[in-house]
Structure 1
Amino acid sequence: MWVEYCLKVTGYCVAGPGNAANPDWTRFARELPPLTEQAGADVAVAIAYMLGHPPKKQVYVDDVLQWRIVAPQAQNENDLIFLYVRRVRNNLFHGGKFNGRFFDPERSRELLEYSITILMAAIIMSPRMLEAYEHRTD
């Protein structure tokens, strides 16, 4: 994910298992001004949708894959928003949003589009992240 690249190269990075370079979303969320106070109308709509209709998490219960609303533990609202955005990404790449057919493709598209809107707003709000995103070297 391009945002994770930007997080790592701007110092929002922590060592994971085996010293893997992991993006530090929580620190970024904490240091970024509140998204809900700084963003434009399109971002406000995206955040309201994400918080009001959070992405579900795939769980395995009684030998059956299911989708459930599971509230993550977050340090602040920015952190919660980023956790939901990452869940959308995880569902896209790992969740298997189909069992022979896609489940609610309209909602999936909305979640993806709103996630991108939120991520771009976050990048624009952070000069270091914006510089990394634009690949500046000056």
Structure 2
Amino acid sequence: MAYDQEMSDLASDLFRTFAQVEYCLKVTGYCVAGRGGAANPDWTRFALEMPPLLDEAGEDVVAAISYMQRRPPKKQVYVDDVLQWRIVAPHAENGNDLIFLYVRRVRNNLFHGGKFNGRFFDPERSRELLEHSITILMAAILMSPPMLEAYENRSD
């Protein structure tokens, strides 16, 4: 498989997994009203109520979290009319919340065009961030019985 196709498949996997996790969050009660009453997933409450990811994680999850902590995804900022990438530590309520914030940043950087313009910028780093994000999202589902049930029994 060509490298570009592998990266496209990983990006699709991240979007699909991310959407499934947000669906599971909302249908299991981790939901808050957003602007105009929009149903928004409550990542922070989920992060606070679940056991620490590292406590029950396998080697792959430990490696993914360690990578995110050592090499967090940067945030695209606009300063003095110039797009820049900066390491910006998000405000997090606990370790789970921080890791989920980083995963959401990976998704946002990709979805909002910060890391992709017909080709992946820094493809090796992008691949690592995509793979680790998917691993973390799947661990979150597996560690929460209600989330796992919602994931396995998806319907309307």
TM range (shorter): over 0.9
Q: Residue 28 of structure 2 is aligned with which of 1, 6, 10?
A: 10
Moved beyond 3 Å, runs of 4+: 98-102
Structure 1 unpaired stretches of 5+: none
Q: TM-score, length-normalised on structure 1?
A: 0.94
Task: Tell me how far 1:92 sits from its aligned partner.
Answer: 0.9
Task: Tell me how far 1:101 sits from its aligned partner.
Answer: 5.6
Task: Tell me how far 1:131 sits from its aligned partner.
Answer: 0.5
Separation (CA, whole Å) in 1 of partners of 2:119 and 2:50: 39
**3-state SS of the aligned residue for 2:112?**
helix
Match of 1:65 in 2: 83
Q: Residue 112 of structure 1 is aligned with which of 123, 130, 140?
A: 130
State the superposition RMSD in angstroms.
Answer: 1.5
Match of 1:31 in 2: 49
Q: How many residues align?
A: 137
Structure 2 unpaired stretches of 5+: 1-18
Q: How does 1:1-138 map to 2 (within 5 A)?
A: 1-98=19-116, 102-135=120-153
**3-state SS of the aligned residue for 1:43?**
helix
Task: Tell me how far 1:130 sits from its aligned partner.
Answer: 0.2
After superposition, the Cα gap between the structure-2 partners of 1:100 and 1:117, relative to the gap in structure 1 and judged at 3 Å, is closer
Contact 2:120 2:126 in 1 (8 A): no
- Identity over the aligned pairs, expressed in percent? 82
Code of the residue aligned with 2:123 in structure 1: it is P
Q: Which moved further from structure 2: 120-129 or 87-96?
A: 87-96
Code of the residue aligned with 2:144 in structure 1: it is S
Code of the residue aligned with 1:123 in structure 2: it is I
**3-state SS of the aligned residue for 1:39?**
coil
Task: Tell me how far 1:136 sits from its aligned partner.
Answer: 6.1
Contact 1:58 1:95 in 2 (8 A): no
After superposition, the Cα gap between the structure-2 partners of 1:63 and 1:38, relative to the gap in structure 1 and judged at 3 Å, is same
Contact 1:88 1:112 in 2 (8 A): yes
Separation (CA, whole Å) in 1 of partners of 2:151 and 2:105: 22
